[in-house]
Amino acid sequence: MTPQTPDANSVDGQTAPSAWNARIVLILLTLIAMVQFFDRALMVVIMEPLKQEFSLTDAQLGFLSGFSYAAAFALAGIPFGWMADRGNRRNLLAALLAIWSALVAFAGSANSFMALVLTRVGIGAADAGGQPCSVSIISDLYPTQRRASAVAIFFVGVPLGMASGFIVGAIVAGQLGWRTAFYVAAAPGVLLTILLLLLVKEPKRGASDGLQESKDPAPPLSETIAFMRSQKSLVYLMAASVLVTASSSAMMSWIGSLLVRIHGLSLENVGLLTGLCMGGFGAIGTIVFGWLADRQGAKDMRNQPRMMAIAAAVIAISGTAVSLLPTVLGAAVSLALFASMVAGLNGPTYALTQSLVKVRMRGTSMSTLVVLLNLIGVGVGPALAGILSDQFAAAYGAESVRWAMVCVLLMNIPAVLLFVRCARTIQDDLARARA
């Protein structure tokens, strides 16, 4: 049986942060996630203007929006996760956020495709430590039975950032140009860096799990990786998440181009539609799915990966509908369902990466997953869709992007099977992580 988790405010003599303080930290970390995903959504909105200004192919656009960012993210991710397990996570996050803000501003002055690629490389590297630091901090503020909901609230910053990036970014880019949009995206990061340093203190590790903070150093990276590999449910979870992310990232990167080319929407209307669908319904899906995951997990932890398997199947079906339905209304309704399922997976996925490893392995576990998601998922998904779109162009013309999306969405089929496998081994693996 899995040991009972004590209350987060007082556990085995170790005092955790107050509920009020935990909420403040969670809100601030959520705002940071929101600002960083504003930039990612902005890249989607301005792909067509960039294509025209720099005379780019779809493959180059896919490389810019996906692989250039993801490769740098991957190279920096594991080292930052290693640092998060050993040092002050608050200070590391503040430094990375300040660097990130400066690089986003520099992107606004890029005068060539290569200059844009270099800024995306720098932004990807600076972004790599954000989620490992944030989710590790949240895991020390909220106990296991409330962790999926807390992590889900943090990941509400993703759809809200996407929504604001699509809507505000589209308006600014449409009225003032894509360069000004980058300057607008960079400004909030400076303020949040200051607030992070003023309002957040480094929490004690393991307090929410009823563990005394160990004075022993974190285990070597090789030991952490070996333990993670031995947790079969964690391996299945990560593999499934990578496949889902590849398909969903392709859709999110190319939805703007699809709506412009197939349905003839203006840049402002694309921003409004995608912002409302991905942002509004994405936020709802994140909160509801996180809440359901905690309720179902309290009954049987196997229910969480089972829920995730259902979500992966719905993502494949709704994403295909977005790509093929002939009307804007049909595409919008399908996109809303698609976005709610994609965002909904965040809470239980990242919460389980923390619960399935030991306390001093959480930063590395989180960074490993995020690196895989970005290198293979975000990196390969949009680029693969761009390559397929170029290949299909001779036969399908402007509609080539539709069929490229359908092909990429097939990755969700093996993801469903992997989530089911995860459910079979998760109870034993959770017990090993607590031992």
Average pLDDT over residues 344-371: 86
Q: Let me know if residue 410 belongs to a domain.
A: yes
Is 401 inside a domain boundary?
Answer: yes
Residue 226 lies in a domain: yes
- DSSP output for 99-158: HHHHHHHHHTT--SHHHHHHHHHHHHHHHTTHHHHHHHHHHTTS-HHHHHHHHHHHHTHH
How much is the mean pLDDT over the chain? 84
- Look at strands 14-15 and 10-11 and give their pairing: antiparallel
In a domain, 204, yes or no: yes
Asked if pLDDT for residue 286 goes beyond 80, the answer is yes
Q: How far apart are alpha carbons 90 and 381 in whole angstroms? A: 32
214 occurs within a structural domain = no
Tens of pLDDT along 74-117?
A: 788 788 888 888 888 899 999 999 999 999 999 888 888 888 88
Asked if residue 4 belongs to a domain, the reply is no
Report how far residue 361's alpha carbon sits from residue 374's, in angstroms, rounded to the nearest whole number. Answer: 20
Assess if residue 11 is contained within a domain: no
Answer yes or no: is pLDDT of 167 > 90.
Answer: no
Query: Could you give the CA distance from residue 303 to residue 308 in angstroms, rounded to a whole number?
Result: 9
- Predicted pLDDT of residue 7: 41
Pairwise CA distance, residues 80 & 84, whole Å: 6
Instruction: State pLDDT tens for residues 36-59.
Output: 888 888 887 888 788 888 888 877
pLDDT in tens, 358-398: 887 888 888 888 778 877 887 788 888 888 988 888 887 77
Give the domain CATH number at 260.
1.20.1250.20
Question: What is the separation of C-alpha 254 from the centre of its chain, rounded to a whole number of angstroms?
Answer: 17
- What whole-number percentage of the chain has pLDDT above 90? 31
Does some domain include residue 37? yes
281 vs 236: CA distance, rounded Å = 27
Domain count, the chain: 1
The proportion of the chain whose per-residue pLDDT surpasses 70, expressed as a percent, equals 93
In this predicted model, what pLDDT tens digit does every residue of 123-132 receive, in sequence order?
988 988 888 8
pLDDT, average across residues 155-166? 82
Q: What range does the domain containing 145 cover?
A: 17-209+219-434
pLDDT at 251 over 90: no
Most confident of 171-180, 239-248, 366-375, 395-404: 239-248
Q: Report pLDDT digits (tens) over 411-435.
A: 999 999 999 999 999 999 999 988 7
pTM for the model = 0.71
